[in-house]
Structure 1
Amino acid sequence: MSSQTIQQMESARSLALGDGRYYPTIIPGVLPIIGYSADQSIEIQRWGADFLAEAFASPTWPLEAKQSSAPSVLATLKAYLENVEDKSVVKSAVQVAASVYPLVYRHTVSNTNDGQHWQLMAAIKSNILRRMDEAAPGVRICCIKFLQQVVLVQTPAVVDPRRPDHNDVSLTLVPRDHPLMPYASLEAEGHGLLDRLLDIIHGDHSDGLLVTGTLNSLGMLIHRRPNAANKILGSVFNFNPLKLASSPMTPKNQVIIKSIERTTRALLVNIMKRNPENPVNARIQQYLERMHRTRVEVFDQSNRKRPAPTEPTDGLDQAKRQRLAAEPPSRTPSVQPLPPGDVSWKQLYTLNSEGTTANFDVQAFKDPEQLLRIVVPVLQSVNAAKLEQAINAVRLRYQMLRQAAASQPRQPTAPAAEDEEEYEPDFEPEDAEQLINKLDGLSSNNFPPQAGPSTALAPYKLPEAPPLSEQDVQKYGDMIVHRAFGMLSSVDENQKSKVTKGGFNRLAASDYNRDAWVTILSRLATRASAGLDDPEEGIKDEFAVKGAKGSLKVSDAVRDGIYQYIMYDWKKRIDVAISWLNEEWYNDMILAQTAKNSAQNGAVNGHASSDLTKGNYHRCALRLIDGILPYIEHTDKILLRFLSEIPSIDYEILVRLKKMAEDPERIDLACNALHYLYMFRPPVRTIVVDILAEMWTENDRAKPSARKLLVRWRPEVLGEEQSNTPTMKTEGDGRLTKESANGALEVKAAS
C-alpha cells in the first residue's frame, strides 16, 4: 500500500518540479498523508520530509505563496522532530525549518493576532537547538544552516532607503511594541546564537565537516549583516585552522587540516574580492600569509631533509656519503685522434671509437615529426656535464685543424699524380680540465679565418608542388573567403572611419574599419572576375550561385558570404546591402558599355549586346529583397531607405511589394513605399501606378489604401466608384500633374 501511495505522490511531485505554481495545491493534499502517526511507514515519512524540504527551497515557487503556505506545515514538522528518530527524516525536517523560519517570522510580524503559529515555530526552534551538541554529524550540519537563518532574521540589517531590499527578513521589520515578538529578546537571542555558532570553529576539530560547514555559513552573515561583520572577522582571525597539527599526523587528520585551511582561505579571499577597498583587507592578507607559512611548516617538513641512503653508492666512503650531494665526477672518455688526410664533418663530430651511432642513417625516417619525437626526449636525457666535455673535445679538434691549415704554406696547383705529404696530428687523450684550460689560453688572433673540413655539398632543390585539383582549388578559395569575412565580423560595427575627406575623391579603403572591408569584399565579388565569365553559359537565373560544373566560383562565394553577413542582422547592415548593390550595378554598367563599344554588327561572339546588359545586379537585388521581406514588420521604415538608395528598380523588384501587401498588417507600409517612390523617383512612376492598379484589382484588403493613391494618379482604374470622388482633371495623355497652390495638391486635366 505504501509503495502505491508513494508512486502516486511522486507523480504530483514531478508536476510541481516542472512548475512551482502547483505547490500551493499539492501541499494541502499531501499533508494528511505524510503527517505523523504511529502506524505510518518510515518510507512515507522520509518522502514527506524530503518533499517539504524540496518545496520550500524551490526557486520557482514565489515568495508570497511560500509565506502563505508555511504556517500549515509547522504541526507536521513539530511531530517529526519530537517523535521520529530516523536521521534522514530529522535532517530533512531541520532543513524545512531553516527555509520556513523567515517566512513564519514575516507572517507573524504582519499578523499580530496569530500567536499559535509563532508558538509552534518557537517549539521547533527549541528542539533543534537541543540537538546541536548531541545529534549525529549530519544532523548537526543541518542545524548549523538553521542557526544561520535564525541569526540572519534576528539581527538588524542596514537598510538603504534608496534601494530597499524587500526580500531581506531581519529584526528591522519588528516594531518595538510588537505583542508576540519582543524586540530586545529577539536581538539578544540572535547575538547569543551567533556566539554559539562561532564557538564551533574554536572547539573540537575532529569533525572536519562540522567546522567547514560553519565557515561556509559565515560568508552570508558577513555579507548581509555588516553590523556583525567585525565580530565574525575577529573570531576568524583568532581561529587556528591547523589546530590538529599538534596531534598525531594520521591520513584522516591531514585531510581534515587541508579541508579546514582551504575553506578558511576561500572565505577570506571572497571577502576581499567582494569589497576591494575594505580597510580590513590588509589584516586579512597578513592572516593568509601567516596561515600559508604555518601550513608549509606542517606539511613540507618531511620534504626538507633527504634521508641518508641505506647502502653505499658507487663505492663511496661511508664516512662521507651523507655529505655528498651529487655523484662522483666520471672519468673523461678517451677521444680518438682524427685520421690522417682530409677530415669530413662526420669524422670531426664522431667521438665514439666504435662508430655505431655514426653509421646510423637518419634518412630512414620518412616523417620528420617521428624523428622529432625521438630526438627531443634523447636530448633532454643527456647529462649536461658529459655534453659539455664532448663539445670541448670537438671544439679543440676544430681549432687544431685550423692551426694546421694556417701553418701550411700555399703551393701552386700540382698535377693530380703528385702525392702530398700526409699530416698526422700529435693528439693525446686529455681530460676535461686540460681541454678547458687549453681553450681558455687560445685567443681569437691565433685562428686565421679558414674554411672548415672539406666536404662536397650536393645541390638541393625544393620539390615542386603537386598540381591542385578542382576540389583543392575550391577548398582553398572557400578558406580565403571565410577568413576575409572573419576579419569583417571581428571589426566593431560602430567604429568610426578615420577618413576626413569625403565626396567622390575619397579613398575607398583608407583604414581597416567595417566600411573598408565591405568595399574590398564587394569589389572582390564584382570586379575581380569581371569579363572572365564564359558567355556560352547564358544569363544566370535569379538565385543561381553555382557554376556550370557545380562548383562555387570565388566571386559567387564572396557574394553568398556578403548575403549571409547582411541577413545575420539586416536592420543594422542595410548600408552594407546598399553599398554592395551599387558596386554590382556599376560593374554591370561598365561591362555593358565595354560590350557595346566592342560590338560589331550588333552582336558579340554570336550574342546580342542586349543579352549582356542584364548582369549580377538584378539577380543579387532580387535575392536580397526576397530574403528581407519576410522579416519586415509594419513599423520598419528602413524599407523606404533601401528602395530609395538602390541604383535601379524595375517591375520585378516592385512586384514584391504587392506580395508583401497580402499581409494585412503591412499594407500601409507597402503603399507608403510606393507613394515615396512615386514622389522622389520619377523614372519608376509608371511602374508604381501599375503595381497599385494590380493591388486594387487583386487584393480586396488593400483597396482603401490603394484608392487614396489611384484617385490622384490613375482614377480610371477605380471604375464606377469614380463618380463618388471629386471631379478630376487629367492631361491629354491621361497622366496626373500636381501643382502646389497654398500648400495643397491639385489634379488638373486638359479639356
Structure 2
Amino acid sequence: MSSSAGQLALTAEELAGEVEQAVIGGNPQEALPAVLERTKRAALGDGDGDGDEEKVRSVAVARVFCDALVETLNHSAVSEHEKPLIASQYVRAVVQLRDTVPGHVLLTLSKMYPFLFDFVAKTSQESLWESMCDCKRWAVGRWRDVTGTTDLSQDGNGIGEKLALVKFFAQVTITQTILALEKDDRAKVPPQYQIHLGAVPDDHPIITNKQKLETEAKQLLDLMLSYLIEEPMMVSPLFMGLLNCLASVIKFRPQTTNRVLNGVLKFNVDAKFQLDGVSVPHYKLAKRFVERCYKNFANFGIKNNLIKQSTQYYNKLAKIAQVLHGIGEETKSKGVLAFDHESAQNKISDEQRARCVEQRRKLAKRRQLQRQQEKEAETKQRLTRLQAYTRAKSSTVFLNTSAVALNSSYSAVYSLMNSEHSEQDLSQLPRDVLVKLTTEAMYRADTKRLITALSVVASRYTQLLNKSSGNDVTAEGGNKKRKNESADDDTADTTAPRSKIIKTEPSRDISDTEDAVDDVKETVPYDTPITFTPKPMDDEAKLKVTEKIISKIIKVRDSEDAPVLVLQQQKLETESPLEQVRLLHWNNAESWYHILIRLATRGTRSSRPISDKIRAELLQWLLQDFNGKAAVMVEWMNEEWFADKLFAETEPRYEEWSLRLLDELIPFLENKHRRIFIRLMSELPQLSEKHIERIKPILLDPGRSALGLQTLKFLIMFRNPVKTMIKDLLNQVMEEDATLKEQCRALLEKYYK
C-alpha cells in the first residue's frame, strides 16, 4: 500500500474511532449527531484525490457513515421521538451511497425504514415517501439481479449483500403488517417493531392505499420463501439468515405464521446440491449448520407458542426438530469427519443444471417485461399528475414576475407560476418523453409570452450575479441603504476581516526590565493558538510508565467490583477515585486483555519497545495457564495481522510474534491439548513455511506425534493454501523418522493423489 492510500485508510479509521468514542462516551445524545454529521460530510464531500485512491477513501468513509447512523438509531440515549427525525434528515445521503456500498446501505435502510414510515405517517412528506418506495423498488431489483444469474457457480457469491437484502425485506414486511398483539404483549415488543401499518389513519393524504402496502409485504415474504424453496444449491449462510429473519417476522407479526410455516415446510435441505468448487467436508459441514438452524427455528416457534398445538404445522415441525436433533447427536458421537466421501457427495448433474438455467432465463425475460410495463405505468401516472397541475395553473398571465428570485436555486429562478417551485419532479420521466414535452411546448408557445418569460428569468440571473459580487442594485431600496452606510466604509481598512482583529494601544517605553514583553505593533488574529511544548520523556521513563499502566489494567481482572455510574463513597478513603473507573460494559475477566491487545497492535504502534513490552506481558499471561485461552491467542494474532495491513508503512509484527507464541507454547503441549492446538493453527490469519515447520518437533516426539499428524490432517482439509508446505514437511519427516513412514504415506496418498 502506498503512503497516500495508507493515509486515506487512516482517515476512515479515525472517523470510526470518533463514532466508537461517541457511543461509549458520557454524552452520546449530543456526541452521536455531531459525529454523524461529520461522517456524512466526509462521505459525500468532494475529495482532493483522484483515481483509485479517492475511490478507496469514499468507500471506507461511506461505510463509517452508515455504521454511525445505525449506531445513532440503535443507541438508547437517543430519544425515540428524535430517531424518526434523524432518519428523515439522512435518508437522502444514504440513498446517494447505494451504488458505492450497497450492503451497508441496505443494512442502514433496514434500521431506518420503520422510523421513516412513522415520520411520513405523522408529517405527510410526499417526497420522503417516494424516496422510500424507490428504495424498495431498488432493493427488489438488486435481489433479482444477484439471485437470478444463469451461472449457478455464482450462487455462493455476494453473501453479504444478499443477507442485507433479506434483513431489509423482513423489516419492510414487519412494518407494513398490522401489529395484532394484545396490549400486555405489545409492551414487550421493541419500539421499532411497534411501528406498523395499522397505526396509519385510513384517510392519510400520502399513505393512501393501505391494502396495497399489506399486499406488498406479503409479496416480499413470498420472495424470501421462494428462494428458500427454489434455490438448488447449498448456500448455507443465506439459508440460515432467511430462517432467522423469518423467525423475527412470526415473532413480531404472529398473523404471518401460517404463511411462513407453509413455505418453510417445503424447504428440503437434502435436495440442495453441492456448490461448484466446494469440497465434500465443507458441504457436509454447511448442510449440518443449516439443519441445526432449521431445528432451532422449529423449537423457537414451539417453545414461544407461535406454532399452536392445535394447528396442522405443530406435529410436522416437532417431528422435523426431533429428527434433526437425532442426526446432530449421531454426527457428534461419530465425529464430523466420519463419513463416506462418495455417498456424501451431492453434485448437480448437467441435465439438472441446464433445467435450472433455462428456468432462470424464462423468469428473467418475464421480469424484464414486467419492469417495462411497470415503468410505462409509472410514467403515465406522472404525466397524469403533470397534466392536472398544468390545467390548474392555466392562465393568460404569469403569476410570478418578480425580478428577484426567492433563492439561488434553478427552480426559483425559472418559476413563473409559483413563488419558488412547482414541486413537479420531471427528472423521473424518460428522456424521450422530456424531449417531446419540451419541443411541443416550444412549438405551441406564444412568441411575446416567451420573450416576457425569458426577460424575467434574465433579470433574476442578473440580480443573483450582482448579489454574489457585492453589487446588489436590483433590490428595491438597495441604493439608498448603501449610500447611508458609505460614510464609514470609505475610511475603513478592508485588508483583513474585522472579526479577526484585536485593537492594540500605542507602544509604551518599558526600559526598567530586560524581560518585559514588547507591545504588539501589528494586528494579531484573535484565534491564534497559544501552544507550549512539554519536556519530552526519555525511553526509560516511557517504559516505566508503560509498566505502571499494564499493571493497573491487569490488576482490574482480579477486582470483584462491577461497573457503576456512581463512585462508591466508602472506598474513596482507601483508594483513588481513578481505581474505580470502569466502562459500563466492562467485564473484569475479559475486557482488560482486549484493551492490552489493541494497545500493543495499534495504540503504541509507533514505539517498538513499548508495544513489545505489552506483548511480552500478554505472552507471559497466556503461557501461565493456556487451557481455555485459544480464543485469546487467535484474537491477538488476528489483531497483529490486521494491524500489519492497516499500518503497512511500519515494520510488520505478526510473523515475529506468532512464531514466538508457537515456540513458547509447543514445548508444553500434550495430546490432551489437541483442541487448543488445532484451533490455534487453523485460525491463525496467515501461515507460512516457518509456521508449518514449528509442528516438526511434535511429529518427531513419539509421545506427541498423533497430535502433530491430526493437526496436519485438519490443515490439509480446511486450509488449502498450505497443502504444498505440509507435503514437504511430511516428506522430510519420512526421511528422518522411519516409524512415521506409514502414517505420513497414508496422508500423502489420501490427499495428494
Q: What range describes the TM-score normalised by the shorter chain of this pair?
A: 0.3 to 0.5
Higher relative contact order (CA 8 A, sep 6+): 2
Normalising by the residue count of structure 2, what TM-score does the alignment of the two structures yield? 0.37
Q: Max radius of gyration: which structure?
A: 1
Higher helix share: 2
